[in-house]
Amino acid sequence: MSSLDSLDLSNNQLSGGIPEQLAVGCSLLEFLALSNNKLQGKIFTPNFSLTNLMELQLDGNNFSGRIPDFLSNSSLLYALDVSNNQLSGTIPRWMGNMSILTKIIMSNNHLEGIIPVEFCHIDLKLVDLSVNNISGRLPSCFSPSRIRQVHLSKNRLRGSLPDSLGNSSTLVALDASDNFLTGSIPSWVGRLSNLSYLLLNNNKFEGRIPIELCNLSQLSLINLSHNNLSGPIPPCLKITALKDVSEDYVHVLIAAGPSSFSFEEPIEFTTKNVSYSYKGKILPYLCGIDLSFNNLNNLSGNIPPEFAVLHFLSYFNVSYNNLSGKTPERIGQLGAFDESSYLGNPFLCGTLVQKNCSPIEPPLTPKGSTGNNVEDGSIDMVVFYVSFIVSYIIVILSIAVVLYINPYWRQAWFYHVEMGVKSCYYFVVDNLPRQFL
């Protein structure tokens, strides 16, 4: 088949390895897809001669070993997908010399080592290195000008996000969750005007949530949970499902060609304490915000009654805050959430927390009171501690005075003290092992 330029055998039950005749004889092959089979062994033999290959899809098999270096002979390669295999070794540095390579998907393997600095030399549109053992830092020069998706979750990356990534204005999805990233969430994220999916959860980020995130008008999903973030939540933070942003914008994302946005790259989000991976047609409908497990200021005040009319709310939990007042009526979507969504808010009342909201009359103000001092009913802890210590001392002194005045009570007191000491002594002696006597 020396004239064959396209071969797709995906989604079958093929087993064994890739025949050497395929890698040698089909010299004009441009597109090869063997995805989702049961193929195994090394990807290609050293006699590989597919120099015209432009797109290679080998995902969803059991290939093992390293990514072959002789694949660099395919200088026209623009898309490589070897995800969901058993590949090991490091990420090849020769990829930085592939000037046309724009799509690299190598997730769910056993790759290790660092991300090569040579990645800074190629203008990627999509890179997915998720679920590997990649360590080190993201190269400081990494800033593809036309990149759409960066997926680096579930690795061992350290350090901070490089400032150079702030120049990637076309970025739509940034997923660096489940790593060991540190520092603060950079303010340059607010310059990524096309960003829709931001997942930085399960890291070691600290500091405040940057107010610049409010500039992201197309933000659909943000997950900053399980970090060390502190301070207030920006009141202007907003999210909108991608399908509601702009039909024209969505059409641009799904446009044909290698530069399009791939809705087949999974986005993981936790709802109702269970993590799900979303991809495909459902992704434009996905929207959510998760800031749980941080050190943010506790929420206070009332729960807005408008929450009762939300018809798209799939998960709601405001536990362990300082919320007060009446819970929303158990109607609409909020009727699906029970008392567990409001735990740890002692000042909440209503049917959802099984606590009556009895009216509380305001305290009477003395007629002669003047000035701006207003009692709020709170306890002055300094006065409380002082009064407690004084009361305790008075009780001790009273007992001492009584024993001093009344000799009979004094004799009985010392008798009971002596009997208590003897009882404790004999109890200890009777229960100690012999080697301690």
Shared-domain flag, residues 224 and 343: no
| CA Rg value for the chain | 33
Shared-domain flag, residues 228 and 254: yes
Does 172 reside within a domain? yes
Shared-domain flag, residues 283 and 154: yes
How many angstroms from the chain centroid is the CA of residue 251? 28
What's the rounded mean pLDDT across residues 127-141?
96
Whether 253 has a pLDDT exceeding 70, the answer reads: no
Shared-domain flag, residues 304 and 271: no
Which tokens go with 432?
């100690």
133 CB neighbour count, 10 Å cutoff: 13
Does 127 reside within a domain? yes
Shared-domain flag, residues 5 and 63: yes
Shared-domain flag, residues 137 and 226: yes
Per residue in 31-79, pLDDT (tens digit) is: 999 999 999 999 988 888 889 999 999 999 999 999 999 899 899 999 9
Between 27 and 415, the higher pLDDT residue: 27
Which tokens go with 14?
């093929």
Shared-domain flag, residues 130 and 57: no
Per residue in 94-104, pLDDT (tens digit) is: 998 898 999 99
Shared-domain flag, residues 137 and 89: no
Task: Tell me the C-alpha distance between 85 and 88, whole Å.
Answer: 9
Task: Tell me the C-alpha distance between 338 and 327, whole Å.
Answer: 11
- Residue 403's pLDDT is 73
Task: Tell me the C-alpha distance between 269 and 190, whole Å.
Answer: 21
- Residue 93's pLDDT is 93
Task: Tell me the C-alpha distance between 145 and 120, whole Å.
Answer: 10
The owner of tokens 């497990």 is 293
Does 81 reside within a domain? yes
For residue 142, give Cα distances in angstroms to 117, 203, 260: 8, 20, 20
Domain boundary among 263, 297, 331: 297
Ranges 69-73, 108-112, 165-169, most confident: 108-112
Per residue in 29-44, pLDDT (tens digit) is: 999 999 999 999 999 8
- Confidence (pTM): 0.75
Domains identified in the chain, total number:
3
Q: Using DSSP bridges, classify how beta strands 267-271 and 274-278 pair: parallel, antiparallel or unpaired.
A: antiparallel
**Which pLDDT band holds residue 248 (cuts at 50, 70, 90)?**
low
* Phi-psi region at 87: left, alpha or beta (left = phi > 0; alpha = psi -120 to 50): beta
Whether 23 has a pLDDT exceeding 90, the answer reads: no
Per the structure, the complete domain to which residue 74 belongs is given by 1-95
Does 53 reside within a domain? yes
Shared-domain flag, residues 89 and 187: no
Does 59 reside within a domain? yes
Shared-domain flag, residues 162 and 264: yes
Which strands sit side by side in the sheet containing 103-105, from one edge to the other? 6-8, 31-33, 55-57, 79-81, 103-105, 126-128, 149-151, 173-175, 197-199, 221-223, 288-290
Domain holding 77: CATH number?
3.80.10.10
Shared-domain flag, residues 79 and 154: no
Shared-domain flag, residues 269 and 337: no
Between 434 and 411, the higher pLDDT residue: 411
Strand locations in 46-148 (E): 55-57, 62-65, 79-81, 86-90, 103-105, 110-113, 126-128, 133-136
- Residue 367's pLDDT is 46
Query: Shortest CA distance to 195 belongs to which of 176, 214, 220?
Result: 220
